[in-house]
Chains A and B, each alone.
Chain A
């Protein structure tokens, strides 16, 4: 069974996702390292991703695009791999590019993504993904492509304030 926790830090502009899987670290690493598997989870069902390159080594690069419900492709996304230590650690810059590979100024500015994969027992693995947002405007644009996933019950401080607003 998969256990998932999400921790949001508005101050540091990070969101950390922790998930536990009944699998080995090597199996979890494959989710990132095998482009065909990656394509099945990176994009939401309404915006499936196609990876045109995936070199998951320190200093390597990945390229992908997503296809929207109307059949249009999004500007290409890229990963700049800073550190890859299979099957335990992956640190990357995650951004959008123009067709010529230069950073796309119309899309959310590059953010950071740090993935840690650690065994926590017999055939059980914890994966932690720390997302570092460049700014909130970027966050909003990223969300515009994933919003089909819908809403979810909220957590955190903003919620507590809103609860008081309803009571007032």
Chain B
């Protein structure tokens, strides 16, 4: 498996971490992802917009006082994330098997 099998949208570490959180939760709030990734609001918005444009996450917004923004992974996103993890594992396995 080559590096070409890696998904360029997910490959960025912040987006990889966000996808891993979302693949293992039914939904995650904006604040939770921001705190977990240790990024600013604007940076998280940028990263999540990239994932949303790729069709990997969907956004839910509750407006009004105490309103929240939360994210869910889509089926396409879950499949892409699994493929990306499989590609990473294959690269690691190939590297390990080439060691003397």
Tell whether A and B belong to one assembly.
no
